Amino acid sequence: MTSHLTRHDVVIVGGGGAGLRAAIAIAEADPRLDVAVVSKVYPMRSHTVSAEGGAAAVIGPDDSLDEHAYDTVSGGDWLCDQDAVEAFVAEAPGELLRLERWGCPWSRETDGRVAVRAFGGMKRKRTWFAADKTGFHLLHTLFQTTLKYERIMRYDEWFVTKLLTDDGRVQGVVAIELMSGRIATIAAKAIILCTGGCGRVYPFTTNAGIKTGDAMALAYRAGAPLKDMEFVQYHPTGLPFTGILITEAARAEGGWLLNREGRRYLQDYDLGKPEPGPVLRSMELGPRDRLSQAFVHEAEQGRTIETPYGPVVHLDLRHLDQEIIDARLPFVRELCLKYENIDPVTELIPVRPVVHYMMGGVHTDIDGATPLEGLFAAGEVACVSINGANRLGSNSLPELLVFGARAGRAAAAYAAEATGNASRAVLAQARDEVHRLERDLLLKNGGHESLADLRQEMQHTMEGRAGIYRDGESLAKAAGTLRELRDRFASIALDDHSRTFNTQLTSALELSCMLEVAEAMVACALGREESRGAHQRTDFPARDDQRFLAHSLIHRNPDGSCRVEYLPVTITRWPPGERVYGSTGGGSP
């Protein structure tokens, strides 16, 4: 099959919040540039739409940029790059106000001011929200804003399978149109990766089915290192079986977590002691890593509730007024009614920790640039790093905006100066990729391995050996299993040889990416012989700043093996300290 060739100044891979914000930034920075947004789903189906709780940015007179920065750095267990954090907190308010001007319907107080709520690990109320459908409204606002720019062209439902590089520089992508099976080479002067995370590497996750680490794998294969891949965040309140998220906003509004004895067990885990008054809420608003780890300890002590889908605890909203739930948590009530057949106004919600977010991703600088010339990344696919070892809730939405805009402006500046068309070597790579897709996937015959079986084995391995708690022995076994699975992947059986919406082909492409990413995660976890944030080694339970106050950088070798190196964390103003939470803990900026 012959590949169709098209050209754009900038190609954005991914049409969610980071991708759309980057596209707008390019259009504003240089209207002469034409931009292609290539997304494997229609943009409004991107996972940004599912974000519920809100977006953090300083707005109140009792808050400050320094306090937001300190909460972020300490919440990330001092693995955050502080120059990036300072830029992030400084630019976040402007980004949220810009969304307001574009039409985002932020919830309001009775006096007309933007409403803010508390969120885990933050000592001030600074989380803006639009009821509990913040991501939905944010993504709608960005999508509608892109429509006014004629130079932004969309490739909806196209799957990027390869980054094309020559002489240390990216020059385009190969992508397959899911509707027709048509394969195209899209040449570009700059590329921005914005495909989100890789939660589907695990079996139980809040992530949509599309979150399969595609661009992480693409960048890794092309020569860009991945950073801090061992840090995987579990959210403490997912619905059993489905993994659907019950937003942290439910606890911000006053929800309690109860064990099987009906006791608010978090008071036992250094997350704030129950005292009279509003401080009583503080333990439910500890950081996500600490709350998820507390759940494991409760399960070990037999104080969780057994269900067909594993142990759970209860989230209790019954003491809240129905008016509060309907005004500020309407989606939570809707999810409980539809997926659990319970009404949180009168009934307890069963919840358990679920994989939610990747702190790691493609290594970038503060402007989204990767070490591979012409390649940029933003959002969850990237690691800039503002999240360190544990992301604080409500920092991710402003992160997409701040660093989506930064990456867009940087890519626009690069593309405006870049010269030349795609080289012969790049076009030859594109032809090879077309032949690979045709020979190995679309027309593949004779394989015997089941895609579903390989995916299930990968997910079971990651959950069982690289979950909330891990150790060297289990991680080494996981690494061996993943190598075997990658070898077996070469013998997958594909029965569907059609070209129109071949979902089996899409699943094969996604599984190939997930296996690559899973191996990187396990390799980084094996190398980090300490416990920090979301990475808890039972054989190395202490944080070790002497050896590991550093980012892990994993590189893919030409033979498919990997090597892990370390990069110092950027410290500007806040030296490492103890993570302390509660009404009086946490230190000060």
Active-site annotation, residues: 235, 251
- In angstroms, the Cα distances linking 449 to 491, 492, 496 are 6, 4, 14
Helix (H) or strand (E) holding 170: strand 169-177
Nearby residues of 280 by Cβ (< 8 Å), 6 or more positions away: 274
**CA separation for the pair 189, 171 (Å, rounded):** 6
Give CA–CA dist 505/538, Å, rounded. Answer: 39
Q: At what angle do helices 82-102 and 65-75 cross, to 10 degrees?
A: 120
* Prior bond of 46 cis (ω within 30°): no
Return the sign of the alpha-carbon dihedral for residues 107, 113, 114, 119: negative
Instruction: Report long-range pairs for 553-561 (Cβ below 8 Å, ≥24 apart).
Output: 553/225, 553/226, 553/227, 553/363, 554/220, 554/225, 554/226, 554/227, 554/229, 554/520, 554/523, 554/524, 555/223, 555/225, 556/220, 556/221, 556/223, 556/516, 560/486
Angle between helices 396-417 and 134-146 (to 10 degrees): 20
Helices then strands, counting H and E runs in the chain, come out as 15, 22
Give me the DSSP letters along 75-99.
HTTT-S-HHHHHHHHHHHHHHHHHH
Tokens linked to 588: 């000060």
Cβ atoms within 10 Å, residue 330: 13
CA distance 406 to 408: 5
Taking the C-alpha atoms of residue 137 and residue 99, their distance in angstroms, rounded to an integer, is 10
Residue 198, judged by CB atoms within 10 A of its CB (0-12, 13-18, 19+), counts as buried
Query: Which of helix, strand or coil describes residue 581?
Result: coil
**Geometric angle at alpha carbon 381, from 376 and 383, rounded to 5°:** 75
Tokens encoding 74: 């300490």
**Phi, psi for residue 422 in degrees, rounded to 5:** -60, 130
Q: Using an 8 Å Cβ cutoff, are 228 and 364 in contact?
A: no
Task: Please list, residue by residue across 213-251, b when 16 or more beta carbons sit within 10 angstroms of its beta carbon and e when fewer do.
Answer: bbbbbbbbbbbbbbbbbbbbbbbbbbbbeebbbbbbbbb
